[in-house]
């Protein structure tokens, strides 16, 4: 029996894996976030074990026939390293690029960043977490001086008085977490849900607000306006623990409830109801998720809600505060250890001299040898194969063809590369385009740490041996590094890599110095920052000070500009995208698990809209945007706004429609709203 965690979302539910002959059985394990429950994705997580879909040998594309053919590991790695070296010699270091994932373990994310900077000497590395919660990260860094998704344990939400979920469908995306919502309500707490769709989460709400997609920001300004008018601002907290409130107060003054109603579609009375709930207690929480964040104004939207939380004096108060519900399994750790274009391990900045000196010492190079910041994820992908852009891409843990915005344009760029290498467990849509495919281990076959949505570093333990022919990503990275003649050590044992990661993070914002596998096992995970072996870890942040040098949080004024692409006569309907219960991210794994329903893409629309275009439930609907089109069966429901359609993004198609407008700070694409036309 092996105690471990689920391979999928950021909740990282505890589970136990038991060998029964050749089978591997899942049982739920009591862990603080899931309390002995799993969702159906967790229960079926071993479904890819022994599957014929598993890749078990490296594959290289024959340029003459276009076919992928099996080769040995040494041959595959030799060919990749030789081609990378040649491209570097011919076009410079930035000719080679790396793309990681928010599902990779901390050890893999760390070693991937080191591979890019030290072995390839390239600045061109980013990852799909840029598309997950980077707007919340940018906002938290600005406001608090540090970015940890939840600055408190998830179970704290049970004890607050008012919980406001902005753009989160927690009950469907991470069902075990919904128990915390139920306990909150059993205690008499109130739940507010803000979402363009009446989701299973919204069904639990005491107050449900259904805004036009892309208008969460003016709603926050309107709430702050009312709180200020009602003298509900915590003036003592604002004076002693923050800076910048007066400018924010002035910007909110223009957002009276009737104006908010005109822009958001939410009745002024409901805006007042929300403000009254928040202003009537000292214990409230505001949590944002992708619905609020995946916008060209995602950072500003999160800042607007943080401004509300700060005005009420919530961050740092017990059972209160602001937090972001991270999505991907290692969405938190993945953004801390160096696979992001502007970051070094420990959430260090790649442009900070002292940070570069520290990491260079750990890596055994000079600070000057570490490249500067590279392109953000979407900008990197759209530069591939262009003059001056990267000529090769190494992809680990990401299925770009399905998950990138404006996916048709991105697929064209992948096809223009001289070399595309994909390390994956199955032949994903992106792997199918690759020149070299490398078969790697999956979660139960390897050990490694993840950092869950609470900032709790947890350990996934190896339970079984990998299939013959499969290697771990750490082996692949080290194999490439040695062939490229990289300096320094390239350990492949996860615990050794973790120790190096901890050293690199020492003194950084995400300080893991005091965390070890032994402690994680003994303590049900350890919350960072944990600067020494004797430090207990930090489950709750901001009780006494924030992470800015003066210890104060920053109010940041924001303005509403609306979605980058407004509706028009040609495209009169809002399109939004999201997840369904049985699938995870690009679906590369979950679509291949027999026990999970693979219903395919669908178009959710309101009966009024369905009648207008003459479509009945189950009949095909054509959705068109300025970038592409998708035909899928109609799902006619009264739970969505009549001016909005929803398409899940787990299947090829949804992201051919989405807009690639980027947030100016986080570089997050606007996945959550664009303009479309629908017809039968």
SS3 assignment, position 146? coil
Q: Of 30, 161, 87, 107, nearest to 435 (Cα)?
A: 87
User: Cβ closer to ligand SF4: 142 or 168?
Assistant: 168
User: Cβ closer to ligand SF4: 78 or 461?
Assistant: 461
125, β-bridge pairs: 98
SS3 assignment, position 497? helix
User: Cβ closer to ligand SF4: 34 or 449?
Assistant: 34
Burial category of 246 from C-beta neighbours within 10 Å (exposed 0-12, middle 13-18, buried 19 and up): exposed
Angle 216-229/268-279 helices, nearest 10 degrees?
60
SS3 assignment, position 661? coil
Among 6, 194, 205, 675, binds ligand SF4 (CB under 6 A): 6
How many residues in the shown chain lie near ligand SF4 by CB under 6 A? 14
- 316 part of the interface to ligand SF4, by CB under 6 A: no
Distance CA 508, CA 513 (A): 9
- 8 part of the interface to ligand SF4, by CB under 6 A: yes
For CA atoms 158, 174, 515, 145, give the dihedral sign: negative
- 11 part of the interface to ligand SF4, by CB under 6 A: yes
Using the contact rule CB under 6 A, the part of the chain among 3-11, 137-145, 392-400, 407-415 near ligand SF4 is: 3-11
User: Cβ closer to ligand SF4: 11 or 162?
Assistant: 11
- 374 part of the interface to ligand SF4, by CB under 6 A: no
- 289 part of the interface to ligand SF4, by CB under 6 A: no
Among 34, 106, 451, 516, binds ligand SF4 (CB under 6 A): 34
Structure tokens at 469: 């022919």
Distance CA 463, CA 556 (A): 47
Among 17, 39, 48, 277, binds ligand SF4 (CB under 6 A): 39
Q: Considering the complex, what minimum distance in angstroms separates the CB of residue 26 from ligand SF4?
A: 9
Within residues 141-200, the interface with ligand SF4 by CB under 6 A covers 174-176
DSSP letter string over 558-579? ------SS---SSS-EEEEEE-
Q: Are 656 and 630 in contact (CB under 8 A)?
A: yes
Using the contact rule CB under 6 A, the part of the chain among 37-45, 414-422, 558-566, 630-638 near ligand SF4 is: 37-45
Using the contact rule CB under 6 A, the part of the chain among 38-46, 204-212, 468-476, 662-670 near ligand SF4 is: 38-46
Rounded to 5 degrees, φ, ψ at 327 are -100, -60
- 9 part of the interface to ligand SF4, by CB under 6 A: yes
- 48 part of the interface to ligand SF4, by CB under 6 A: no
Q: Are 397 and 585 in contact (CB under 8 A)?
A: no
User: Cβ closer to ligand SF4: 42 or 145?
Assistant: 42
Compute the radius of gyration of the chain from its Cα atoms.
24
Rounded to 5 degrees, φ, ψ at 188 are 100, 5
Draw the binding track, 239-268, toward ligand SF4 (x: CB under 6 A; -: no contact): ------------------------------
User: Cβ closer to ligand SF4: 12 or 449?
Assistant: 12
Q: Considering the complex, what minimum distance in angstroms separates the CB of residue 336 from ligand SF4?
A: 19
User: Cβ closer to ligand SF4: 450 or 481?
Assistant: 450
User: Cβ closer to ligand SF4: 104 or 513?
Assistant: 104
Which DSSP helix (H) or strand (E) runs through 270?
helix 268-279
User: Cβ closer to ligand SF4: 31 or 255?
Assistant: 31
Angle 473-483/73-91 helices, nearest 10 degrees?
50
SS3 assignment, position 20? strand
Structure tokens at 199: 């989701």
Helix runs in 347-420, H state only: 353-363, 377-383, 400-403, 407-415
User: Cβ closer to ligand SF4: 38 or 98?
Assistant: 38
Using the contact rule CB under 6 A, the part of the chain among 36-44, 101-109, 246-254, 430-438 near ligand SF4 is: 36-44
- 38 part of the interface to ligand SF4, by CB under 6 A: yes
User: Cβ closer to ligand SF4: 33 or 652?
Assistant: 33
Using the contact rule CB under 6 A, the part of the chain among 6-14, 209-217, 617-625, 653-661 near ligand SF4 is: 6-14
Q: Are 336 and 141 in contact (CB under 8 A)?
A: no
What value, to the nearest 5°, has the Cα angle with vertex 86 and ends 83 and 91? 120
Q: Considering the complex, what minimum distance in angstroms separates the CB of residue 39 from ligand SF4?
A: 3
Q: Nearest-CB residue to ligand SF4?
A: 42
Q: Of 137, 191, 150, 168, nearest to 32 (Cα)?
A: 150
Distance CA 189, CA 277 (A): 11
SS3 assignment, position 398? coil
User: Cβ closer to ligand SF4: 104 or 421?
Assistant: 104
Q: Considering the complex, what minimum distance in angstroms separates the CB of residue 330 from ligand SF4?
A: 11
User: Cβ closer to ligand SF4: 28 or 87?
Assistant: 28
Using the contact rule CB under 6 A, the part of the chain among 31-39, 219-227, 336-344, 375-383 near ligand SF4 is: 31-39
- 13 part of the interface to ligand SF4, by CB under 6 A: yes
User: Cβ closer to ligand SF4: 34 or 399?
Assistant: 34
To which residue do tokens 């997840």 refer? 579
Angle 353-363/494-505 helices, nearest 10 degrees?
150
Using the contact rule CB under 6 A, the part of the chain among 35-43, 242-250, 502-510, 664-672 near ligand SF4 is: 35-43
Q: Of 608, 589, 607, nearest to 598 (Cα)?
A: 589
Tell whether omega for the bond before 529 is within 30 degrees of 0, i.e. cis.
Answer: yes
Beta strands in 232-318 (DSSP E): 242-243, 284-288
Q: Of 347, 431, 326, 329, nearest to 110 (Cα)?
A: 347
Which DSSP helix (H) or strand (E) runs through 300?
helix 298-311
Q: Considering the complex, what minimum distance in angstroms separates the CB of residue 636 from ligand SF4?
A: 28
Distance CA 330, CA 11 (A): 9
Q: Considering the complex, what minimum distance in angstroms separates the CB of residue 74 from ligand SF4?
A: 36
Q: Considering the complex, what minimum distance in angstroms separates the CB of residue 334 from ligand SF4?
A: 15
Q: Considering the complex, what minimum distance in angstroms separates the CB of residue 650 from ligand SF4?
A: 13
User: Cβ closer to ligand SF4: 460 or 667?
Assistant: 460
Among 26, 29, 31, 41, binds ligand SF4 (CB under 6 A): 41
Binding site for ligand SF4 (CB under 6 A): 6, 8-9, 11-13, 34, 38-39, 41-42, 174-176
């Amino acid at each position: 029996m092996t105690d471990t965690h689920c391979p999928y979302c950021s909740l990282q539910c505890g589970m136990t894996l038991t060998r029964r002959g050749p089978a591997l059985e899942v049982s739920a394990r009591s862990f603080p976030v899931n309390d002995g429950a799993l969702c159906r994705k967790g229960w079926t997580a071993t479904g890819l074990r022994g599957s014929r879909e598993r890749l078990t040998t490296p594959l290289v594309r024959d340029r003459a026939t276009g076919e992928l053919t099996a080769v040995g590991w040494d041959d595959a790695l030799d060919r990749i390293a030789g081609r990378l070296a040649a491209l570097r010699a011919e076009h410079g270091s930035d000719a080679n690029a790396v793309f990681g994932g928010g599902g990779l373990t901390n050890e893999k994310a760390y070693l991937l960043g080191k591979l890019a900077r030290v072995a390839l000497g390239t600045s061109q590395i980013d990852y799909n977490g840029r598309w997950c919660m980077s707007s919340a990260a940018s906002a938290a860094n600005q406001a608090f001086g540090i970015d940890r998704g939840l600055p408190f344990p998830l179970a704290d939400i049970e004890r607050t008085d008012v919980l406001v979920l902005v753009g989160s469908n927690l009950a469907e995306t991470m069902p075990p977490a919904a128990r915390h919502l139920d306990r909150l309500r059993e205690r008499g707490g109130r739940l507010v849900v803000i979402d363009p769709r009446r989701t299973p989460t919204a069904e639990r709400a005491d107050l449900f607000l259904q805004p036009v997609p892309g208008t969460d920001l003016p709603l926050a300004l309107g709430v702050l306006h009312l709180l200020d008018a009602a003298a509900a601002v915590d003036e003592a907290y604002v004076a002693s623990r923050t800076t910048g409130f007066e400018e924010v107060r002035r910007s909110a003054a223009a957002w009276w409830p009737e104006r908010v109603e005109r822009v958001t579609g939410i009745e002024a009375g409901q805006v007042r109801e929300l403000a009254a709930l928040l202003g009537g207690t000292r214990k409230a929480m505001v949590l944002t998720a992708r619905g609020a964040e995946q916008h060209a104004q995602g950072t500003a939207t999160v800042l607007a809600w943080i401004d509300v939380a700060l005005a009420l004096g919530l961050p740092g108060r017990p059972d209160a505060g602001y937090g972001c519900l991270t999505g991907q399994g290692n969405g938190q750790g993945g953004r801390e250890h160096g696979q992001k274009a502007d970051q070094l391990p420990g959430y260090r900045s790649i442009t900070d001299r002292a940070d570069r000196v520290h990491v260079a010492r750990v890596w055994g190079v000079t600070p000057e040898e570490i490249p500067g910041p590279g392109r953000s994820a979407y900008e990197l992908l759209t530069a591939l194969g262009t003059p001056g852009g990267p000529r090769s891409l190494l992809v680990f843990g990401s299925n770009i063809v399905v998950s990138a915005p404006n996916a048709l344009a991105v697929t064209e760029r992948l096809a223009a590369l001289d070399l595309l290498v994909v390390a994956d467990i199955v032949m994903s849509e992106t792997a199918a385009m690759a020149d070299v495919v490398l078969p790697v281990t999956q979660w139960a076959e390897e050990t490694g740490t993840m950092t869950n949505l609470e900032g709790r570093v947890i350990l996934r333990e190896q339970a079984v041996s990998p299939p013959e022919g499969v290697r771990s990503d750490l082996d692949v990275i080290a194999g490439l590094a040695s062939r490229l003649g990289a300096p320094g050590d390239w350990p492949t044992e996860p615990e050794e890599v973790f120790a190096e990661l901890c050293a690199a993070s020492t003194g950084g914002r995400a300080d893991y110095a005091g965390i070890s596998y032994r402690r994680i096992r003994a303590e049900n995970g350890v919350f960072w920052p944990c600067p020494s072996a004797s430090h207990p870890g930090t489950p709750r942040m901001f009780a006494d000070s924030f992470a800015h040098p003066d210890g104060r949080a920053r109010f940041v004024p924001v303005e509403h500009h609306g979605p980058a692409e407004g509706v028009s006569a040609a495209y009169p309907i809002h399109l939004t995208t999201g997840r369904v219960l049985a699938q995870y991210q690009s679906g590369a794994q979950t679509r291949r698990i027999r026990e999970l329903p693979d219903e395919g893409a669908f178009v959710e629309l309101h009966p009024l809209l369905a009648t207008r275009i003459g479509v009945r439930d189950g009949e095909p609907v054509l959705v068109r945007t300025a970038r592409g089109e998708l035909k899928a069966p109609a799902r006619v429901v009264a739970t969505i706004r009549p001016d909005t359609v929803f398409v899940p993004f787990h299947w090829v198609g949804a992201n051919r429609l989405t807009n690639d407008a980027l947030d100016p700070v986080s570089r997050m694409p606007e996945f959550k709203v664009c303009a479309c036309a629908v017809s039968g």
